[in-house]
Structure 1
Amino acid sequence: MFLMQKELDWHIFENKAQEHCLHRGMHKCKTLIYLLLYHAIFVFFAWTYWKSIFTLPQQPNQKFHLSYTDKERYENEERPEVQKQILVDMAKKLPVYTRTGSGAVRFCDRCHLIKPDRCHHCSVCAICVLKMDHHCPWVNNCIGFSNYKFFLQFLAYSVLYCLYIVTTVFSYFIKYWRGELPSAHSRFHVLFLLFVACMFFVNLVILFGYHCWLVSRNKTTLVFTSGPEKNGFNLGFIKNIQQVFGDNKKFWLIPVGSSPGDGHSFPLRSINESQNPLLANEEHWEDNEDDSPGE
């Protein structure tokens, strides 16, 4: 629906550009610049939207899954403390540092795997997604490690797209306000374009600003307010940005994969376990029989 609306804006904008620019005396060079800028923004908008939709969410690799033997032991064991110890023994062999609020190993009882850091289970996709941020209905996809960069770029180019429409149509809105647009058809197009572009612009700026704030602190939507990992990955402003866009700045504006790492482990705020807010020593883990290992 969102893309259909943008395609409608595209056709209206081109018609208005030809009608108001070519047939009403605007210099052809200025018209050409307007159209080139518009199509350049539209191409990047559509490209990033496509990448956000069709880039599959990345799942944990096989080493995080319980083996057949461990799975049988875990499912057949009725004592919670023994189940917990089975997961502890497995987690010691993996690059996993985050724990649940009670200090237990983060285990997904639906996918039967130990969750890597920043990995969460998506109830819509029914899979565990690496560095999951959220499930986005507008792109019908999980936003996580594999496509978070593309999603941010999509928001950025959407904001730029709407802003461009507003700035180029606003002069004709002034003409409409002064009664200088004789055609009723033209008046409808101008009002419709300006209203839709402003509506999307305001909402997209808020959403884009929120995600920029998350990136600046290396957080995700799921854990930005609470949880043991809410501050543990904050490496500083520049490094936080590089964790999403990569070290090579020439790829920051292009929707190609450049995020560092494999999505299973991430640089920590502190190497020292005693100082790292992410890491919980086993002797500090709480025995809470009310909390299941799968939570």
Structure 2
Amino acid sequence: MHRSAGAVMAWNVFRFCTALRGLGSIMILIVLSIVSVTYYAVVLCNYGPALLAGGASSLTALGVLLLFHLLLVMLLWSYFSVVFTDPGSVPPNWNLDFDEERGETAPLSSSDFSSQMNLQQSMALGDTGNPRARYCRKCNQLKPPRCHHCSVCGRCVLKMDHHCVWVVSCVGALNYKYFLLFLFYTFLETTLVTLSLLPHFIAFFSDIDIPGSPTALATTFLTFVLNLAFSLSVLGFMIMHFSLVSANTTTIEAYEKKTAPRWMYDLGRKRNFAQVWLLFGILFFKNMLNN
């Protein structure tokens, strides 16, 4: 009975991971659909006609449209940069004589290495007392510090933060910078849309006549609600991730690490933020050279 229950649980987890992998193109289409609806409501239904109508309101419309398009370009650039940038794979034949995260040499003796290979079938994080000597039984390889296996992607990811269904990939060492920029520009864009459509949303519930077709009015209402919801949710998510960066930790490590007076990777707030940008550049060019 126990074996049967365990087999069913493993099978269900596998189906869940497979389903998440299948959501890839669907999630990209959902993001592009939300962007398209927002563009239609802001540019074609409201501020585009206001700009063409002229008058005092045309200057406001021009300012909103310029800022809207600028933020939209930055949002789409950062989004597709996250989607198409590999989060960071373990280099082939990687060994433990170099710490990828801190750039420090850390030689491993032959006896330690033999011990790791002998215990590879039963090794778990922290079992050997050496946090650098870890082995992934699924990938059948040693893995660097702060590296975790993603069951959805089916591989180990360097400095993995989490698997994000919205970007159809893991967020790791190489695309974490783009992920933070995506959160930042998404918050600015959704906030701008919410504030710019707020007068139209208020007028929707008033007794005054609002120009436009029923489709335009319904799209404006839907766009305001969607962007308000995304603005508030992304704000909370952005605050969480910037606090993680300030402590030089990840979402996974925040749940895994034990209570300690000082986190071993904490270099100070300023250097922690700089490391996200510098580590991205170092690992990116290193991967380019290896390829």
Equivalent residue number for residue 127 of structure 1:
155
Equivalent residue number for residue 265 of structure 2:
233
How much has 1:9 moved relative to structure 2? 0.7
Contact 2:37 2:223 in 1 (8 A): no
**Residue 4 in 1 paired to residue 25 in 2?**
no
How much has 1:260 moved relative to structure 2? 5.0
Distance 1:116 1:173, change over 3 A: same
How much has 1:227 moved relative to structure 2? 2.9
Distance 1:19 1:262, change over 3 A: closer
Deviation by residue 1:186-221 (Cα, 9 ceiling, x = unmatched)? 532332221111111111111111111111111111
Counterpart code for 1:10: Y
Number of aligned residue pairs: 229
Equivalent residue number for residue 217 of structure 1:
247
Q: Which moved more, 1:190-199 or 1:12-21?
A: 12-21
Aligned-partner Cα distance in 2 for 1:260–1:142: 18
Aligned-partner Cα distance in 2 for 1:110–1:65: 17
How much has 1:137 moved relative to structure 2? 0.8
Distance 1:144 1:13, change over 3 A: same
Deviation by residue 1:83-140 (Cα, 9 ceiling, x = unmatched)? 97615599xxxxxxxx626625311122222211111111111111111111111111
Aligned-partner Cα distance in 1 for 2:206–2:35: 28
Equivalent in 9, 34, 46 of residue 76 of structure 2 = 46
Equivalent residue number for residue 34 of structure 1:
64
Aligned-partner Cα distance in 1 for 2:182–2:209: 34
Q: Which has the higher contact order (CA 8 A, sep 6+)?
A: 1
Contact 1:20 1:26 in 2 (8 A): no
Q: For 1:5-154, list aligned pairs within 5 A.
A: 5-15=34-44, 16-23=46-53, 25-64=55-94, 86-88=114-116, 100=126, 103-104=129-130, 105-154=133-182
| TM-score, normalization by structure 2 | 0.70
Aligned-partner Cα distance in 2 for 1:227–1:173: 46
Equivalent residue number for residue 24 of structure 2:
none
Equivalent residue number for residue 100 of structure 2:
none
| TM-score, normalization by structure 1 | 0.69
Structure (1/2) with the larger helix percentage: 2
Instruction: Report the aligned-residue RMSD.
Output: 2.9
Equivalent residue number for residue 159 of structure 1:
187
Q: Which segments of 5 or more consecutive residues in structure 1 lack a partner in the other structure?
A: 67-82, 91-98, 247-257, 264-295
Q: Which moved more, 1:123-132 or 1:24-33?
A: 24-33
